[in-house]
Amino acid sequence: MPKLEIKRKSELSRKEVSEHLIAIGQALAGGSEVELGESGDSIEIVVADRVRWELEIEVDGDKTEIEIEISWHDEPSGETPPQRAAPAKAVRRGRPRKTPTK
């Protein structure tokens, strides 16, 4: 599969950032298919049952940086764990799509 990378940088209020983090958390808790995006662009990805979590906090003078990284490897084909049902719809991996803006 070709490499896909999407980067977004923006300046938001604390409340807006918390809303993004809550939405990601709820999507992860809700199942293996997670839709992420903003500004009309989104991508749907399948998240493995076990993921790697990295948290980095860096304080340098008056600048503080928090980095959260969540990563995983796809499960080998044909080895779907018994507790996870097959998706009811086809999942597009690595293809950004436009969602209608309201």
Looking at residue 58, what is its pLDDT?
Answer: 97
Three-class SS state of 3 = coil
Predicted pLDDT of residue 61: 96
Confidence grade of residue 66 (pLDDT, cut at 50, 70, 90): very high
* 44 contacts 34 by C-beta, under 8 angstroms: yes
Number of separate helices (H) and strands (E) present in the chain: 1, 5
The 10s digit of each residue's pLDDT in 36-58 is 776 667 788 889 999 999 999 99
